[in-house]
Chains A and B, each alone.
Chain A
Amino acid sequence: MSFDRSLVPQWRPGYRFQYEPAQEGYVLLYPEGMIKLNDSAAEISQCIDGQMAVNQIIEKLAVKFPQAQGIDDDIEQFMLVAQEQHWITLG
């Protein structure tokens, strides 16, 4: 099944993405839990605003990182994992 890039990702209610100065990195916070995101996951997560569709996120990050190879697959993969983990909804 191919991934529909026109879908708009949104954080699930109760999930909060933020920068943590003490950890010098971005985290995802949720009920009694916290995940530290790696650099690429953090870049993608910063684009999740409930407005931008996956294809727009791909365009934006392709401009920001012109040298990165296969950025669209990476973003798609992140969305699939985040959806499977119920961090985001895709609508």
Chain B
Amino acid sequence: MASAPYTPSNPNNAGLPLWLLAELTYRCPLQCPYCSNPLDFATQGKELSTEQWVDVLQQARKMGAAQLGFSGGEPLARPDLSELIGEARQLGYYTNLITSGIGLTESKVERFKQAGLDHIQISFQASDETVNNALAGSRKAFANKLAMAKAVKAAGYPMVLNFVTHRHNIDNIDKIIELCIELEADFVELATCQFYGFAHLNRLGLLPTKAQLEKAEAVTNVYREKLQAAGNPCKLIFVTPDYYEERPKPCMNGWGNVFLTVTPDGTALPCHSARQLPIEFPNVKDHSLQEIWYDSFGFNHYRGDSWMQEPCRSCDEKDKDFGGCRCQAYMLTGDATAADPVCAKSDQHGKILAARAEAENADVTIDALTYRNEKTSKQCSDGQIIASDAATR
């Protein structure tokens, strides 16, 4: 495919795909109820082969991709991961492994290092064993993560720990931060869960209250000051959920502008959630990445601003936030060209306000959440499981 001469027409003057997210597999030993994978992941096509992935890596690198994330699912489930890391590093990528740590061993940590892996990010579900394991749907998860975090650091990698926070663990953010400092993390992502995939399905049981969020941010700021005073390079990154914003995020830094995701079966997407949109996206098995990135219908669909409606079209902030997230607009309004309802200017912003109000009184326990696994995924595809919260109705 890559050998055919091809001159892109690039009608919207797209930038370079600097960031490639390689979702190697949807297989995962955990069942996190806030997983951002598509609800119907279990019914997707066959995974790309090693050769097909190598071809994708080569094409994207030529087009300017410099940052590469190996993600999933759990990328460790791919037996060819070490080979793909080696190939990627040789091509000049900065290689990131985004993992739950389950399936990681000290010898793999070492082997990946030799293959040229630059960075390992381990995600935690909570700072204490019981909550972590309950959320992960695994009894061994926590102890293994701690051991692997130590092994990653010992092998000389920079360490990024990722904690997805939500109403069941955000009140323990002080303990989460203490644990990260103890593990000598270089970066800590305190990411309040965003509502895509399974997280959207479970929104009522996950969205923290405004008071919880404000307290967590205040605690984080206290630790930031302490770390700075101690000259500790550990950087705390606090991600506020969209549901407590009044303006939308500049999603993916613009549609098809910087980010390119390739899913396990080779479908190319402008972001990892876009598959749910009622748009056809191209597959790397059928087209070259140049055709896909510059000229495909899917990648050009929301470039520029001619697709926008009011209030975005005449908004003086449209070049800043691009109307927000297309997936969120579609999930919450049924129209992917609408303003992201997170925006207070959207006539659908009431859905966000209703979700906030619901969070004040929600009493969904951890065990009542819908966990991400093959069974629930198939039930979602069949329409047996549907989201039923105020924001979706």
A interface, CB within 8 angstroms of B? 12-16, 18, 20, 22-23, 27, 29-34, 86
A37 to chain B, nearest CB (A): 13
From B60-68, B247-255, B264-272, B302-310, the one touching the partner chain is B60-68
A10 to chain B, nearest CB (A): 13
Partner of B94, one of A13, A23, A34, A86: A34
Interface of B is mostly: loop
Contact B64 A30 (CB under 8 A): no
Say whether A22 contacts B160, CB under 8 Å. no
Q: B residues touching A (Cβ–Cβ < 8 Å)?
A: 16, 18, 62-64, 66-67, 69, 92, 94, 96, 118-119, 121, 156-158, 160, 186-187, 233, 235
With A29-B94, A32-B96, A34-B94 as contacts: A86 and B119 at CB distance below 8 Å: no
Chain B min CB distance to A2 (Å):
19
Closest CB pairs A-B (n = 9):
A14-B158, A22-B64, A29-B94, A86-B233, A31-B119, A31-B160, A31-B158, A22-B16, A14-B119
A23 touches B16 (CB 8 A): yes
Partner of B66, one of A13, A14, A29, A86: A29
Name the residue of chain B whose CB is nearest to the CB of A23.
B64
> CA–CA, A33 to B276, complex, Å?
27
Closest residue to B92 on the A side, CB-wise?
A18
Q: How far is the CA of A33 from the CA of B94 in the complex (A)?
A: 9
In the complex, which residues of chain A have a beta carbon less than 8 angstroms from the beta carbon of B96?
A: 31-32
Enumerate chain B residues within 8 angstroms of A29, measured Cβ to Cβ: 66-67, 94, 118
Known: A23-B64, A30-B94, A34-B67. 7 other contacts (CB 8 A): A13-B158, A14-B119, A14-B158, A16-B118, A18-B92, A22-B63, A34-B66
> How far, in angstroms, from A12 to B62 measured CA to CA in the complex?
27
A32 touching B157 by the CB < 8 A rule? no
A46 to B: closest C-beta gap in Å = 17
Q: A13-B156, A16-B94, A23-B16 are in contact. Are A32 and B66 (CB under 8 A)?
A: no
Q: Using A14-B157, A31-B119 as known contacts, say yes or no to A20 and B66 having CB atoms under 8 A apart.
A: yes
